[in-house]
Amino acid sequence: MKINHLAVVVHSVEDALLFWRDALGLPFNGIEEVPEEAVKVGFLDANGVHIELLEPTTDDSGVAKFLDKRGPGMHHLCLEVDDLEHAMASLKANGMQLIYEEPRVRDNGRRYTFVHPKSTGGVMIELYEADEA
């Protein structure tokens, strides 16, 4: 298991890049729309750990609700796992609350789910299934 990325909610990816890319000098890898989560994502790299800047694209998405309630800031930590179903079953067996009961699949084929912050001590955790070697 390793950290894949840290996700930060922002009002505007373009505005946030003034700090992350321009002031800090982190390499910027582009912006992608993720319709299934209703976000625009800016991708940066911090020596192998990715930073994702999340801008909501609808007013009713989970990220928009997070932004309205808590303001900009840390949204989640993403960990890579070898077997997503096994990780999900283990979490459920240990009484952890998942946000999605079944794995979701991104356009690029990457499978993922989220663990509710109520189960983790306050931090939302995303689990990505590691790419096959």
Both tokens of residue 81?
């796992």
Interval 74-88 mean pLDDT: 95
What average pLDDT score do residues 10-16 get? 97
Per-residue pLDDT band for 133 (boundaries 50, 70, 90) equals: very low
What does the mean pLDDT of the chain come to?
94
Please provide the DSSP assignment of 69-132 as one string: HH-SEEEEEEEEES-HHHHHHHHHHTTPPBS-SS-EE-TTS-EEEEE-GGGTTS-EEEEEEPPP
pLDDT tens across 83-103, in order? Answer: 999 999 999 999 999 999 999
**This prediction's pTM:** 0.87
pLDDT at 57: 97
pLDDT of 131 > 80? The answer is no
Domain ranges within the chain, ordered by starting residue: 2-129
pLDDT tens digits along 21-55: 999 999 999 999 999 899 999 999 999 899 999 99
Confidence of residue 132 (pLDDT cuts 50, 70, 90): low
Question: HSE-up of 64 (CA within 13 Å, CB side)?
Answer: 10
* Domain 2-129 in this protein, CATH class: alpha beta
In this prediction, residue 8 carries a pLDDT of 97
What does the alpha-carbon distance between residue 7 and residue 9 come to, in Å, rounded to a whole number? 7
Which token pair is 97?
């609350």
Residue 130, pLDDT score: 84
Beta bridge partners of 3: 79
